[in-house]
Chain A
Amino acid sequence: MANFTYTEKKDTRSGFGAGLSELGRSNPDVVALCADLTGSLKMDAFQKEFPDRFFQIGIAEANMIGIAAGMTIGGKIPFTGTFANFSTGRVYDQIRQSVAYSGKNVKICASHAGVTLGEDGATHQILEDIGLMKMLPGMVVINPCDYNQTKAATIAIAEYFGPVYLRFGRPAWPIFMPEGNFQIGKAIHLKEGKDVSIFATGHLVWKAIEAIEPLKALGIDAEVINIHTIKPLDEEAVLDSVAKTRCVVTAEEHNIHGGLGDSIAQLLARKNPTPMEFVAVNDTFGESATPDQLMKKYGLESSNIMKAVQAVLKRK
C-alpha cells in the first residue's frame, strides 16, 4: 500500500536509471542507447557498469530509433533514452514504421516530460506525447508516479515482449509507492472512497493524494486510483470504481487532448456515461519558469483537483 506521507523526494528519471542498472545485472540481453543526454537520463551508471552494452548515438534521435529496432533482430532488448519531446514527436514516423508497425521489442524511455521540466521552456516541455504514443497500434504507454514506481516499471517492461513508451520526469518528487512489483495495465487503488473517482497518472498522482484530506474536510470521500498504464487501460478498475462513485475527475501533466482523460472518457462513453472533469493543460504550450510556478499557472495543483471534484459533484 502506498503512503500518504513521505520522507524523501527523488526524481523519477533516477528511478529509471536505477532500474536500468538492475536490469543490466539481471538480463544480459538488455542494451541501452542514448542520444547525448546520458547524465540527464541517469543512464551513466549503466554506461559505466556495462560499457559494451551502452550505445552513445549522438544527437541523432531518428537514427537511434532505427538502430534500436535493428538491434532487436538477434534478441537484444534495447532501451532508448532521451527527452520526451525528442523521444516522440521528433521521431514519430521512425517509431511508427520501424518499431510499432514492425512489432519490435524496443523500450522508448522518455524523461523531462511535461511542464515540470521547468526553465528550458516549451520547446522541451512536451504535453502531447501520451496522445502520440497511445495512437500507435500495439504500443504500451506507461507513466509512473514516483521514483519507486518508475524503477519497478523499468524492470517490468523488459519482461514484456513488444514496444513500450515509458514516460518520466525531472523534478524531485515525493516517494510514496512501495518498492518492487509492477504490473503493466493494472491500476492501483490508493484510497477507497464513495463520492468521486479521481484517476491520476504520473506526477499528478501525488497531487491527487494531497487533495484527499482537504476534500474530507469538505465532507467528500474521494477514491484515488493510480493509472500508471494509460494503454492498455485497466477498464475493469475504472468501471468498478465509477459504478460506485458515479462521477470522475482525471488528473495528468499532459494536454487535455490525447491523454488519460480522453482514454477514460472514451471508455465511459461506451460503457457507462458519467459526469467527468479534466485536470490537464488546456490545449496550450508551456513556458519557462520553475516547476512549481508552472504547475500552478497551468492548473495542475491539488487545488485544481479539488475544484474539479466540486464541479463534477454538482453534475452527478
Chain B
Amino acid sequence: MSKSIPELEKIASQVRRDIVRMVHAVNSGHPGGSLGCTEFFVGLYFSVLTHNPSFNMDGKDEDLFFLSNGHISPVFYSVLAHSGYFAKDELATFRKLNSRLQGHPTTHEHLPGVRIASGSLGQGLSVGIGAALTKKLNGDKSIVYTLHGDGELQEGQIWEAAMYAAHNQVDNLIATVDLNGQQIDGSTKNVLSLGNLKAKWEAFGWQVLDEDKGNDMQSVVNVLQKAKTLTGNGKPILILLKTDMGAGVDFMMGSHKWHGVAPNDEQLAQALAQLEETLGDY
C-alpha cells in the first residue's frame, strides 16, 4: 500500500536521524551522499517497489534494488530496517565488529535486503543488468532498479554496461544517478567533468529522465513512477536525479567535505535539532 507524501517525509526525517547517529557512533561512514539520497530511498522502498521484507535472495516476482555506490550504506540500512528487513536496533551495530552492517553492504554476513556486495565502484549496473536478464528468462515481469553516484560514472565498466543494456533492449531496468556534483576530492567539475550526461546516455541508447528536485519527495516519487511507465519499450531507463549532498542538515549541504566524515558530539546535536524524531530513534 502506497504512503502519502507527508507520511513519506516523516520516514525520511527519521532515516536522516539514523544516518547521522550511525556515523557519529563509530566516527566513520558517509553521511553526505546518504542524506542526499534519502528521498530516493524512502520514495523507492515505501511507494514504488513491490518487495517482500521476508527476504529471499532470488526475489522472484519482486522488484529488485542494487546499490552500486555502496558507501552510502547508512541510508540503505536505515530504509531496510524501517521496511522490516531486520530490527531497527541492529542499526546500532553499524561498522562494529561482528556486525551484519558492514561499512559497505555485503551479502557475506547475510543481511536481509542486500543481494550483492558493493563499495568498489562501477559494478552495480552490470549486476542489475544480469538480474534483469534473469527476470526476462524466468518470465518475471517485475523491475530492477539501481543507484549510482555521479562520480562513479568515471568508472569504465559503467559505460560497458550502458552499451550492453541498450544493445540488448534491457527495458526492465531503471538506473538512477545521484547527481550531487561532488566526489571525495572536490566537485566532479574539477576532478573529472562528466559533461552532458543526458546527451551521453541518450547517445548510448537509453531513455533519460531529468529530475532537478531530488530532495523533494513528491518530485522523486513522480519521476520514479514516470520511469516505471517507460519500462517495456525496448530501452533501458536512466534517471538523472539532482540532489544536494548532505540535504537536511544545513552545515553538511553542498560540500564534498562531508562525503566521508562523521559529525562530532556538538555537530550531532546541531544536526539532530534540525531533524524531527518521527518514528523513534533506534
Q: Does A66 lie at the interface of the complex (its beta carbon under 8 Å from any beta carbon of B)?
A: yes
Contact B120 A66 (CB under 8 A): no
Q: Does A67 contact B (CB under 8 A)?
A: yes
Which residues from A are CB-within-8-Å of B131?
70-71, 73-74
Are A53's CB and B137's CB within 8 A? Answer: yes
Interface pair B117/A97, CB less than 8 Å apart: yes
With both beta carbons as reference points, the residue of chain A lying nearest to B66 in the complex is identified as: A70
Q: Determine whether the beta carbon of B130 is less than 8 Å from that of A73.
A: yes
Q: Which residues of chain B are near A69, meaning CB under 8 Å?
A: 116, 126-127, 130
Residue with the greatest number of chain A CB neighbours at <10 A, chosen from B59, B137, B156: B137
B230 at interface by CB-CB < 8 Å: no
Question: Are A70 and B137 neighbours in the complex by a CB distance under 8 Å?
Answer: no
Cross-interface CB contact of A60 among B66, B116, B160, cutoff 8 Å: B160
Q: Give the docked Cα–Cα distance between A57 and B170 (Å).
A: 13
A101 touching B126, Cβ below 8 Å = no
Query: Which residues in window 44-65 of A have CB below 8 A to B?
Result: 52-53, 55, 57-58, 60, 62-65
**Contact pattern, A 161-178, Cβ under 8 Å of B = 1, otherwise 0:** 000000000000000000
Closest to A58 in B: B164
Is A280 an interface residue when CB atoms closer than 8 A count as contact? no
**Chain A residue total in the interface (Cβ 8 A):** 32
Cβ contact within 8 Å between B133 and A63: no
Are B137's CB and A52's CB within 8 A? yes
**Contact A102:B116 (CB < 8 A) given known A66-B125, A74-B59, A94-B123:** yes
Of listed B116, B137, B167, residue having the most chain A CB within 10 A: B116
By a CB distance below 8 angstroms, the chain B residues around A71 are: 130-131, 133-134
Closest to B57 in A: A73
Closest residue on chain A to residue B126 by CB atoms: A66
Nearest CB in chain A: distance from B153 CB, A: 15
**Contact: B106 with A102, CB < 8 Å?**
yes
Q: What residue in chain A is nearest B64 (Cβ atoms)?
A: A73
B231 at the interface (CB under 8 A from A): no
B160 and A97 form a contact (CB under 8 A)? no
With both beta carbons as reference points, the residue of chain A lying nearest to B133 in the complex is identified as A71
Q: Is the CB of A101 within 8 A of B164?
A: no
Output the least CB separation between A23 and chain B (Å): 16
Is B83 on the interface with A (CB-CB < 8 A)?
no
Query: Smallest CB–CB gap between B121 and chain A, Å?
Result: 10
CB neighbours (8 Å) of A38 from chain B are none
Residues of B with C-beta under 8 A to A103 = 107-108
The CA of A271 and the CA of B124, in the complex, are separated in Å by: 43
Q: Please name all residues of chain A whose beta carbon is closer than 8 Å to the beta carbon of B123 when the two chains form the complex.
A: 62, 66, 94, 97-98
Query: B9-52 interface mask toward A, CB cutoff 8 Å, 1 = contact, 0 = none?
Result: 00000000000000000000000000000000000000000000
- Kindly provide the distance from the CB of A134 to the nearest chain B CB, expressed in whole angstroms: 19
Residues 82-139 of A contacting B (Cβ, < 8 Å) = 93-94, 96-98, 101-104
Q: How far is the CA of A68 from the CA of B123 in the complex (A)?
A: 11
The answer to whether A66 and B129 touch (CB under 8 A), given A31-B137, A73-B59, A98-B117, is yes
- Cα(A62)–Cα(B125), bound, Å: 11
Cβ contact within 8 Å between B134 and A76: yes
Complex contacts, A97 vs chain B, CB 8 Å: 117-120, 123
CB-CB nearest in chain B for A75: B58
Residues of chain B within 8 A (CB-CB) of A98 are: 116-117, 123, 126-127
**Contact of B117 with A74 in the complex, beta carbons under 8 Å:** no
Q: Report whether A70 and B60 are in contact in the complex, using a CB–CB cutoff of 8 Å.
A: no
Mark contacts of B109-152 with chain A using CB atoms, 8 A cut-off: 1 yes-contact digit, 0 otherwise. Answer: 00000011111101111111111111101101000000000000
Q: Among the listed B107, B122, B130, B157, which residue makes an inter-chain contact with A70, where contact means beta carbons less than 8 Å apart? A: B130
Closest to B114 in A: A102
Are B120 and A93 in touch, CB under 8 angstroms? yes
Q: How far is the CA of A76 from the CA of B58 in the complex (A)?
A: 10
Residues of A within 8 A of B (CB): 31, 52-53, 55, 57-58, 60, 62-76, 78, 93-94, 96-98, 101-104
**What are 23 of the A-B contact pairs (CB < 8 Å)?**
A31-B137, A63-B160, A66-B124, A66-B125, A66-B157, A67-B133, A67-B161, A67-B164, A68-B130, A70-B66, A73-B57, A74-B58, A74-B131, A74-B135, A75-B60, A78-B130, A97-B117, A98-B116, A101-B107, A101-B108, A101-B117, A102-B106, A102-B108
Q: Shortest 7 CB-CB distances between A and B: which pairs?
A: A70-B130, A66-B126, A74-B134, A60-B160, A63-B160, A67-B130, A70-B127
